[in-house]
């Protein structure tokens, strides 16, 4: 396609170099901002008219032509296409082609520098709620697993070594807790994007009496930027969004890693549904957790988007610099990747079968050593001494191939007269979890309350399904 006439052609003697023009063009990806760009322009046309910079007739013509562009693009997304440098140039070119002279007045007092920042702010404020909803849906899938697990127990791990028994429900609530922080972090990113940039001009502000407060309300912003020079290069809201996305992916990656490990033949705690597993082209028996591995892999990519973006920003002098154009691909990739990973994780968790017989069988034995120590502490022994003694009991039991739960009262009493027959009831996985007393603990009453609290949160954040 021919190189079109750029918005800035007047200053230049000839055509730009085709390769360099293509290199600098952002239309291949910023077309995604089309609707935001047009809505911003409709509001700008109103503001220009109110400022006396456009006649009523011109304002009307611009606004109705822009509105028809929105309709057309909604009907046919392929409409937003052409050889243009960027989405702003595309909209202006099509507008002028339709209404002529009046269209050429739209950009009065405005710069693409403030316009592109506006578009991206509008875009993120529009898109982030969808990501939040996808996050809440995954939390809902975790909730359903927690509810299904009832009072089943599993081993809790530290250092990926069996540590203490926990309720399976407690495990699922732990992932929901991280997802709720992601939800809040996304809200904070949307809040940071909530500032109107228009009125900043290229850097110094605009020479027309634009009512920025009115314009902000018109575009549903609650604030106006405080400084035009800062505003044209402020992409902190992009960094915040990328951080929120990267951290959400870190959480999804850790969930994925858990489920990959728990699904191995060695653990056998979970069984992936066939619909979310994959096979091997060679080994007929294989059932692989590819979606979970991809989630884990894609987390690396979005951490890269965040670090790449911060690196791009760090060297920029004040004011707009073209480096800032790199913001969009980072944002769009983070958005798409997070959305895809959330959906895949929701499908996996939503159909996952927990092998509660196996988690229960794995939750006893030496994991109850802390409960033995607590038994002695309750009978007066200082904790450090109890810890020492139980350590010796564990060592002996390991050496003789015994299990704590199988020891007789006589065997216990050989270690300390503080032991009596009640030790057997105290040293079971069920007694261990029931002994946890703090609200954040795996104590069954506390977990029941936490499940109810999560259910209420999900009710507020996931719209009821139509079914």
Give the residues lining the site for ligand ARG (CB under 6 A): 26, 30, 86, 112-113, 116, 320, 322, 324-325
Token pair recorded at residue 310: 């911060």
Residue that the structure tokens 């028994």 belong to: 165
Residue that the structure tokens 């926990």 belong to: 166
What's 154's DSSP letter? E
Least Å distance, CB 112 to ligand ARG, is 4
Least Å distance, CB 84 to ligand ARG, is 10
Token pair recorded at residue 36: 């935001």
Token pair recorded at residue 75: 């009907």
The span from the CA of 385 to the CA of 392, in Å, is 11
The span from the CA of 331 to the CA of 238, in Å, is 7
Token pair recorded at residue 164: 């203490």
Least Å distance, CB 207 to ligand ARG, is 18
Tell me whether residue 68 is one of the annotated catalytic residues: no
CA 104-105-106 angle, 5° bins:
95
Cβ-based nearer residue to ligand ARG, 123 or 320? 320
Cβ-based nearer residue to ligand ARG, 95 or 142? 95
Least Å distance, CB 259 to ligand ARG, is 39
Cβ-based nearer residue to ligand ARG, 278 or 321? 321
The span from the CA of 308 to the CA of 306, in Å, is 5
Least Å distance, CB 120 to ligand ARG, is 8
Tell me whether residue 170 is one of the annotated catalytic residues: no
Cβ-based nearer residue to ligand ARG, 324 or 458? 324
- Catalytic residue from among 159, 281, 400, 465: 159
Contact 233, 290 (CB under 8 A): no
Dihedral angle sign, alpha carbons of residues 117, 119, 120, 121:
positive
Cβ-based nearer residue to ligand ARG, 86 or 333? 86
- Catalytic residue from among 64, 68, 280, 318: 280
Residue nearest to ligand ARG (CB): 325
The span from the CA of 31 to the CA of 78, in Å, is 10
Task: Enumerate the active-site residues.
Answer: 159, 280
């Amino acid at each position: 396609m021919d190189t079109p006439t750029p918005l800035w052609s007047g200053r230049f003697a000839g055509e730009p170099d085709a390769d360099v023009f293509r290199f600098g063009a952002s239309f291949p990806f910023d077309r995604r901002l089309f609707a935001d760009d047009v809505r911003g322009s409709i509001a700008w046309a109103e503001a220009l008219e109110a400022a006396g910079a456009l006649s009523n007739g011109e304002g009307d013509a611009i606004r109705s032509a822009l509105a028809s562009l929105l309709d057309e693009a909604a009907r046919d997304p392929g409409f937003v296409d052409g050889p243009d440098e960027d989405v702003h140039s595309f909209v202006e070119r099509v507008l002028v082609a339709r209404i002529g002279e009046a269209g050429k007045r739209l950009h009065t007092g405005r710069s693409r520098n403030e316009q592109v920042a506006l578009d991206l702010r509008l875009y993120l404020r529009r898109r982030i709620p969808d990501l939040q909803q996808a996050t809440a849906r995954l939390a809902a899938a975790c909730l359903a697993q927690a509810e299904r697990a009832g009072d089943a127990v599993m081993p809790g791990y530290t250092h990926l070594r069996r540590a203490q028994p926990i309720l399976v429900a407690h495990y699922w609530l732990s992932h929901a807790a991280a997802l709720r922080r992601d939800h809040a972090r996304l809200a904070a990113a949307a809040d940071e994007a909530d500032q109107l940039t228009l009125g900043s001009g290229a850097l110094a502000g605009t020479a027309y009496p634009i009512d920025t407060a009115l314009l902000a309300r018109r575009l549903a912003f609650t604030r106006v930027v405080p400084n035009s020079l800062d505003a044209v290069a402020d992409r902190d809201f992009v960094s915040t969004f990328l951080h929120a996305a990267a951290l959400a992916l870190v959480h999804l990656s850790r969930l994925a890693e858990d489920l990959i490990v728990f699904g191995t033949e060695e653990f056998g705690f979970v069984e992936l549904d066939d619909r979310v597993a994959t096979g091997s082209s060679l080994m007929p028996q294989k059932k692989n957790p590819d979606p979970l591995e991809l989630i884990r892999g894609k987390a690396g990519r979005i951490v890269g988007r965040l670090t790449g973006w911060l690196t791009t920003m760090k060297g920029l002098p004040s004011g707009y610099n073209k480096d800032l154009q790199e913001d969009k691909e980072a944002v769009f990739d983070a958005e798409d990747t997070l959305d895809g990973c959330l959906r895949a994780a929701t499908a996996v968790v939503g159909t996952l079968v927990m092998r509660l017989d196996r988690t229960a069988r794995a939750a006893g034995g030496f994991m109850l050593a802390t409960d033995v120590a607590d038994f002695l502490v309750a009978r007066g022994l200082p904790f450090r001494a109890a810890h020492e003694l139980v350590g010796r009991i564990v060592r002996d039991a390991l050496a003789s191939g015994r299990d704590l739960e199988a020891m007789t009262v006589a065997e216990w009493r050989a270690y300390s007269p503080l032991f009596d027959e009640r030790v057997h009831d105290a040293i079971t996985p069920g007694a261990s979890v029931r002994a946890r007393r703090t609200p954040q603990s795996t104590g069954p009453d506390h977990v029941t309350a936490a499940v109810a609290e999560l259910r209420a949160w999900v009710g507020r954040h996931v719209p009821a399904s139509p079914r």
